[in-house]
Amino acid sequence: MLYGSNLVRLRSAAPVLAPALVTNRRFLGWSLATLTTSIGFLGVLVFLPTYLQAADLSPAAAGVTMLLLTGPVLLMPMAAVALVNKGAPARLLIVIALLLVVAGNLWLVTLSARDTVVTVAAPLVLIGVGMGGSFGLTDGQAMALVDADDVGMAAGFLNTLRGAAEALVIAAYSASLTGLLSARRDDAARAAEVGAGRLSGTEHIVELDAFTWSWRLTQLGVGLCCPVLSAAVIVLIHGRGPVSRRTSHPAQGR
């Protein structure tokens, strides 16, 4: 069925996803860049607030701490575009953004229930800056590599990729945390409760220790995945491939 579907796309005048699009190395590289930063950002965004509150931070304090992650995402896209407009190479900027995301995720492996805010502050800023910087670069650079007639298709591909990454990262992160907690506590039902931040009063210290352990291992997995994907991005966007086919956007970089 898949082979037959591909034949239909090759012969169709208006395919849902043109084969030429997914064989464009640089387009795939920029698409993979947005996937990589999403992987490095979403698990922390969704699950760290629960851990912070389990580590005895108030909901308000946890929310303010998370601004270290989300604040740069609001500011950095404009900064990245401004740098590109001033002549900074977009490919260099995305490499820096990916390195920041990788460094932040690996740094979070040191997460501790003691001095939690101090421990997570710098990694959150690094991930937020990297994610925000990529927002200002990836879509524009990818769109610049496709024909004008394929812009809608390319945008749909990027949005689908980003949405799929969000769903998969959240599901995988949750499964990893719960699975590791189950292995540590030997009680799947209780592991789910701990993963949701509902620690018992009598075993609070033991359960928080198990939660920290599972968080570190899960974060290590993410931290090791991101550099592998980042290396693939660098190879794709710096390799030989078609140059920009649309020159009407001065902010696309080089």
Strand segments, DSSP code E, in the chain are none
Cα–Cα distance for residue pair 35/229, rounded to 1 Å: 9
CATH class of 19-238: mainly alpha
pLDDT in tens, 26-74: 888 998 998 999 999 999 999 999 999 998 889 999 999 999 999 999 9
Q: How confident is the model at residue 241 (pLDDT cuts 50, 70, 90)?
A: low
Contact predicate 121/220, CB 8 Å: no
Check residues 225 and 22 and name the one with the higher pLDDT.
Answer: 225
Task: Indicate the Cα dihedral angle 210, 175, 108, 124, nearest 10°.
Answer: -130
* Count of CB atoms situated within 10 Å of the CB of 252: 20
Structure-block tokens of residue 6: 């591909």
**Cα(28)–Cα(233) distance, integer angstroms:** 8
